[in-house]
Amino acid sequence: MWRSLLIMLLMSFLVNTYAQPAKDYEFKPVPFTSVQINDHFWKPRIETNKKVTIPYAFRKCEETGRIENFAIAGGLKTGKFNSTYPFDDSDVYKIIEGASYSLISQPDKKLDRYLDSLITLIAAAQEDDGYIMTWRTIDPQKPPTTWSGTAERWSDLDNGHELYNLGHMYEAAVAHYQATNKRSFLDVAIKSANLVYDVFGPGKKEGYPGHQEIEIGLVKLYRLTKEPKYLELAKLFLDRRGHRPFKEKGTLWETGKYWQNHLPVIEQTEAVGHAVRANYMYTAMADIAALTGNSAYLNAIQKIWENMVNKKLYLTGGVGAAGHGEAYWENYDLPNADAYCETCAAIANVFWNHRMFLLTGEAKYIDVLERSLYNGLISGVSLHGDRFFYTNRLESKGEERSEWFSCACCPSNVSRFVPSVSGYIYALQEDNLFVNLYIGSEGNFKINGKALKIIQETQYPWNGDIKLILKPSRKQLINLYLRLPGWAQNKPVPGDLYQYLNPSDQKPMVKINGKPMELNVQNSYIKISRQWQKNDMIELSLPMQIQRVIAHDQVVDDRGKVALEYGPIVYCAEWPDNQGKVSNLILPDAIELQTEFQPDLLHGILTLTGTVPAFYPVENGTALITRNQAFNAIPYYAWAHRGKGEMSVWLPRSVADIKIIPQVMDEK
């Protein structure tokens, strides 16, 4: 009997310690592999990413030695570590992830073979015990930077990026396995993850990554392999944070806020420090909250989210105001000309907000996701796919997109994100289907085990008319939830950081099979419950009009200014459309503006046009005169394609608000 009792106790211990948690996200995303985008807005971007951005990024990795580093570390070539940073390995991993996603939706034998060749190099660079970090394998006595760490492994976890690199490798390996069913890269990742667990697992080295990312990668490995220790280690890395002694006051680094180390993660209430690190951490916390039912994690990231949305979010959905530390800054400190808004931070903001929705089913998180997606994220890559922004300012005197960066995290991040956009359109919860984004597409998936095809037709974001055609395999009860965007409810953002100057009185409309229906709005979703039959059609009309946006008065840089939106799109004034200058423009509240679609401009955009006053110096340069001139605004994401010149999202509302008169006179 005692042996039976011992076995039961041992089984109980193993179940409680290692068993796969029964919990997960209550709201399940429909995988991007189940939805094919075929619209005018996103399909060309996905095609450009596959045909231009991914090959271009791989070529740049070849030219800059990032790929050669793996060959040298693997003994296949001789040479030195020949790129710039200790995290350069991660760029190769991220592009492989994006290429794998592209393979899932569009098989490509040439790309498949190229990935095989890269994975061969990566496998060769992995040391016998699973360790992989090319610079340290090539020559541990010569770190690429002063903050890369020493020859000893794991010697600078705050800045050395060993664990950060591995997180991106794990994500890429999972994506490659899902795309090809080949284990070549997955086996490398598993071997590495097992080593990391042996080094950092319970009772071992009390370390954690300075740049969060491995936590996300470990969760993805766990989901694929069902190996509990990967989830355990991801949570362990998070729970170890905030227990080191730091100063109460001082710089981001002195307080530990730069790394989000200033407090245990469950005690944090404010978005602080390096914005990409922060948003990756909040993303991982959401994953682990879902998988373990950890309410303390959820409570913490909800409080942090409230702080971000109400006090630290740019109108474009960008985050991270401070270039010094690439960081979240003080509440309401949102400068325009000095805005940092790293492209990677916008991508991470989408990851975080999507997971917040999956945890809660609340539309407000999709509102923020959509704002980042259509504005501060896609602004980071050119329409041609081979020029990039690292930072995304809201005011400029003349920036140009770059071909590449020595720190190339943003181009590689864009390349992996764009192919996955279709995974954000739909979500499921039992017999509830949530339509979160309006993108022309065709989806095929199952609800409660029954097949459903759904076709979405729309000219969104230029038009608010959306047609949904449902094709269930047989008559089926489905609760359909159509997201009513915040902008369609006179709420540009969930909080009070921004508001519309003149709220619209237009209302959304819905027809089912041509017949208008009374709206049942629940938590910003239009709910339609019925037994759906093949070819049932829903027509949703969202009221779109030009909206003037004003900011909270505590946002000093935006006082007395106004910005423009149309649907989910934030607009800007750029020099080529406004007589070569923007800083002399005024946009009075009473000025009427119109929309005009220009199919031949910037790959087809809707512009906002009108006539506004502009200030010019007179002959002697001692005074200013006012002239009325044609005004044109373009979508913010499309700026910086036509040479160097001025751009601004926020414009003065009156003469009293213009702050550039001395500058205008000095220029004369």
Q: What is the pLDDT of residues 370-397, one digit of tens each?
A: 999 999 999 999 999 999 999 999 999 9
- Name the average pLDDT for the chain: 93
The whole-number pLDDT of residue 18 equals 36
Q: What is the pLDDT of residues 197-254, one digit of tens each?
A: 999 999 999 999 999 999 999 999 999 999 999 999 999 999 999 999 999 999 999 9
Q: What is the pLDDT of residues 646-665, one digit of tens each?
A: 999 999 998 776 664 444 43
Other CB atoms within 10 Å distance of the CB of residue 579: 16
Tokens linked to 239: 């729970």
Looking at CATH, the fold of the domain delimited by 21-426 is given as Glycosyltransferase (1.50.10)
What residues contact 494, with CB distance under 8 A and at least 6 apart?
309, 364, 367, 368, 486
The whole-number pLDDT of residue 230 equals 98
pLDDT at 7 over 90: no
Percent of the chain with pLDDT over 90: 91
pLDDT at 46 over 60: yes
Please report, for residues 94, 300, 450, 472, 478, the alpha-carbon distance to residue 447 in angstroms, rounded to integers and kept in the order given: 32, 32, 5, 9, 8
Q: How far apart are the first and last CA of the chain?
A: 97
The whole-number pLDDT of residue 106 equals 87
> Which residue from 572, 637, 168 is spatially nearest to 370, judged by alpha carbons?
637
Percent of the chain with pLDDT over 70: 94
Helix/strand/coil for 199: helix
Helix/strand/coil for 215: helix
The whole-number pLDDT of residue 655 equals 77
Q: What is the pLDDT of residues 585-641, one digit of tens each?
A: 999 999 999 999 999 999 999 999 999 999 988 766 667 788 999 999 999 999 999
The whole-number pLDDT of residue 188 equals 98
C-alpha span between 399 and 288 (Å, rounded): 40
Tokens linked to 166: 């591995």
Contact 466, 542 (CB under 8 A): yes
Comparing 17-26, 84-93, 534-543, which segment has the lowest mean pLDDT?
A: 17-26
CATH class of 434-483+507-541: mainly beta
Which residue shows structure tokens 């490509």?
108
Tokens linked to 545: 């009009």
CA dihedral 272, 277, 281, 282 (to 10 degrees): 50
pLDDT at 5 over 50: no
- Determine whether 260 is exposed, middle or buried from the number of CB atoms within 10 Å of its CB (0-12, 13-18, 19+): buried
C-alpha span between 49 and 46 (Å, rounded): 5
What does the chain come to in residues?
668
pLDDT at 22 over 90: no
Tokens linked to 98: 């994006």
The whole-number pLDDT of residue 4 equals 40
DSSP code of residue 402: B
C-alpha span between 602 and 579 (Å, rounded): 18
pLDDT at 488 over 80: yes
> Mean pLDDT across the stretch 30-53?
96
> Which residue from 232, 132, 201 is spatially nearest to 172, judged by alpha carbons?
132
C-alpha span between 79 and 101 (Å, rounded): 32
- Confidence band for 16, pLDDT divided at 50, 70 and 90: very low
Give residue 107's Cα distance to chain centre: 25
The whole-number pLDDT of residue 10 equals 35
SS3 content of the chain, % helix, strand, coil (to 5): 40, 20, 40
Which residue shows structure tokens 């094919």?
36
pLDDT at 326 over 80: yes
The whole-number pLDDT of residue 618 equals 79
pLDDT at 9 over 80: no
Q: What is the pLDDT of residues 82-135, one digit of tens each?
A: 999 999 999 999 999 999 999 998 899 999 999 999 999 999 999 999 999 999
Q: What is the pLDDT of residues 420-451, one digit of tens each?
A: 999 999 999 999 999 999 999 999 999 989 99
Q: What is the pLDDT of residues 393-421, one digit of tens each?
A: 999 999 999 999 999 999 999 999 999 99
- CB-facing half-sphere around the CA of 143: CA atoms within 13 A: 18
Pairing relationship of beta strands 476-483 and 432-435 according to DSSP bridges? parallel
The boundaries of every CATH 1.50.10 domain in the chain are 21-426
The boundaries of every CATH 2.60.40 domain in the chain are 434-483+507-541
Q: Degrees (nearest 5) of the Cα angle 49, 54, 56?
A: 110
The whole-number pLDDT of residue 668 equals 34
